Amino acid sequence: QGMNVVRGPIDLSTHNNCLFLVDGFDDPPMVMMPYNPSYYREFMEKDGWHKAKDAYAYDFCVDKPLSEKFEKAYRVACKSGITFRPLRTKGEAFEKDCLSLYHLFTRAFSDNWSSTPRTEAEFLAEAKSLQSLVDPDIFPVAEDNGEMVGFFMGLPNYNIALKHIGGKLNWLGILKFLWYSRQIDQGRIIALCSLPEYRRKMLPLALIYLGMQGGSKKRKPYKRAELSWVWEDNFASGKLIEASGGKIYKTYRIYEKSLRSSKPPLGTFN
């Protein structure tokens, strides 16, 4: 009752699975990213849906060295008193780090379009579901006097291993997953976050430097990474990503449709 616009695809919040692929169908999706056939777009638009906002996925070549300014940024950040370490992945230390991530994430992304803040319980539940998949080599965090002030949230592209198990996570599927996980040479950058007051201390560039170094020094060195996703009107992040060597290679979309001229279908939301 009283709703006049429906948006999607969104799984309750843009913090969860969402987005509709509209460009960049040649490459398979990275871990935890959506995929749909290209012809779905025609179906949507013929049904009266139109663009609400686009988001980009950026491609990085990790096997090429970053420019010297990134290592310089790391040294500048260290001299200013910032310390760096990998995310802790075990026991109470993991939960403590996740609480710090939650407070930093909520503060830094509070103005994200079409989203509502997650509760602490929701964030911790999601973090624990991913705990066994976290690779600390590509998840550096930054601290100032013991307080977390930034992080680089990377995750191996487990889709490379998952495609070999045929959707069957039985004992054989688990063995195949573990075996093919050793062949992963790509990663996805889910988020790059720092408090605004630390950006002048070169913290974002320092975190990119550490995250990329972590991927390039793996037993099987990473060749590429995807940073996804970034809203099209987030110009500051886009400029930083492109200065770091990232190039847009996929475009995703949130659609919307007016309900004013028709009866709202069951389950739509404003």
Angstrom CA distances, 137 to 141, 155, 166, 211, 250, stand at 11, 9, 28, 7, 26
DSSP 55-69: EEEEEEETTSPPPHH
**pLDDT-above-90 percentage for the chain:** 71
The topology (CATH level 3) of 59-235 is Aminopeptidase (3.40.630)
Residue 261: both structure tokens together: 């001229």
Mean pLDDT across 118-132:
91
Out of 45-59, 72-86, 106-120, least confident range: 106-120
In contact, 20 and 33? CB cutoff 8 Å? no
The pLDDT value recorded for residue 266 is 45
In contact, 215 and 166? CB cutoff 8 Å? no
- Predicted TM-score (pTM) above 0.85: yes
Residue among 17, 18, 35 nearest 26 (CA): 35
